[in-house]
Copies of this chain bind each other. A is one copy, B any other.
Amino acid sequence: MSMKRKVIRIGVLGCGSVGSSFIRALKKNRNLIRERTGIEFFVVKVCDRDRKKAKFFPQLYTSRDADVTNSPEIDIVVELIGGVEHAYEIVRTSIKNGKSVVTANKALISEKGMEIFRLAGQNGVHIGFEASVAGAIPVIKAIRESFVGNRISSMLGILNGTTNYILTSMSLYGTTFAQALVEAQRLGYAEANPALDVSGLDTAHKLSILSALAFGRQIYWRDIHVEGMEFIEAMDVAFTREFGYRMKLLAIARKKGQELDIRVHPTLLPATHPLSAVEGVYNAVYLESDLAGKSLLYGEGAGGTAATSAVISDVVDIGRKLSENNLPSRSGLYEDPRTVVVPMKEISSRYYFRFTALDKPGVLSRIAEILGNNGISIASVIQKEESPEKAVPVLMLTHTAKEDSVQKAVAAVNRLNVIRKPAVLIRLSE
């Protein structure tokens, strides 16, 4: 092996927890990376709006984006500021100035990915975004490169650490959603405002990126059917656990022929499913494909050093290409215009229901009748006895049914005057 000494210069925009972890790690492991690649990587400029960061990087600090995006000495811009509009502006300027870009910004890629890749192609630069989905897990590289020869049929992902931490706590320790969320915030896993996580929108952003790579069609994240987990109660988790299921906020994308079934919602998986063992803040992606069969990639989905691992992986990939005077590789995204999305009402699934009903004679039979009329067959049921005055939960698992029929049946049940709260509905997945 030749030991050509090459140097790649990096500018970092955004010096929060991932930014400062990246700068530290690149310094700490610089010799290791040089031994492995023959290339030396240096951060030569660090930009952050917060001038207090200057004291940590007295030689490198700037408060002006342009000192990075326009600097002739920078080869790769690492964008870690988050958000869409300002980040997009920075990335565009960098690309137009001939710089390759690495970003951990899932919102940016899921909103503006196609525009960014097009601009990068026109300007002959590289874009890395491994850190935008599932932290340290090399899922983007796996789909783009390792499974490049595979027709992927199914992708199931636990892509949000906060919600998985909450669901694991509820499952293992019987805590309520609210208690588990407070604990997650105390440990730094959940944001002060956890809406993006618990609503499933963070997962939908990431699914939008992965499904584009796996299935050749970018589904805009707003077009993905998304249900959050705010409505989940401890009893839902406990009851279904007893029946051998584990609840996960799951990103689901399955392709059959040209039909893409894509959605995000709380999902019950058999306890024996490989994803059921993914607990706490861990993330995982489970793929089924024609050649590789079943694969699972599991790892740390969040936190400064997990994202740093992925950012360095992209930086080194691009550094290797730049040091070899390559033309840019393709993004791995491509457009398959034949793909059609399966409407939510056409999917089939098994279901878990929680009805909240007055404890009067005949209530269960009225619910069962409505379900039966809609072709929905009950597999198991628990009705908790309480005082006749109070509403009690009726918990059910069904056999496979059509979403359309289920929605009609649930609406009809909700209209019964003995029903005190809208029904809760969770889909099962094999």
Binding site for B on A (CB under 8 A): 1-2, 25-26, 29, 32-33, 35-38, 117-118, 121, 130, 135-138, 141-142, 144-151, 216, 274, 277, 282, 289-300, 303, 305-306, 308-310, 312-313, 315-317, 320-321, 324-327, 329-334, 336
Contact = CB atoms under 8 A, between A and B. Distances in A.
| Copies in the assembly, this chain | 2
Given A145-B316, A329-B324, A136 B306 contact: no
B33 A148 contact: yes
Nearest to A149: B312
Contacts of A303: 293
B292 A305 contact: yes
Given A290-B305, A292-B309, A313-B149, A36 B297 contact: no
Given A2-B121, A327-B324, A147 B294 contact: no
B149 A142 contact: no
Contacts of A291: 25, 29, 136, 305-306, 308-309, 312
A102 to B, nearest CB: 12
10 contacts: A1-B334, A141-B142, A145-B317, A277-B277, A291-B305, A293-B299, A295-B300, A296-B298, A296-B299, A321-B326
B35 A313 contact: no
A153 to B, nearest CB: 12
Contact of A274 (B130, B216, B298): B298
B151 A146 contact: no
Given A295-B298, A296-B299, A300-B295, A35 B149 contact: no
Contacts of A332: 36
Given A121-B2, A291-B308, A35 B336 contact: yes
Contacts of A298: 274, 295-298
A300 B292 contact: yes
Contacts of A336: 35
A329 to B, nearest CB: 6
A138 B146 contact: yes
Given A146-B138, A298-B274, A306 B330 contact: no
Given A2-B121, A29-B150, A117-B1, A294 B289 contact: no
Given A2-B121, A145-B313, A293 B274 contact: no
B334 A305 contact: no
Nearest to A311: B149
Contacts of A316: 145, 148-149
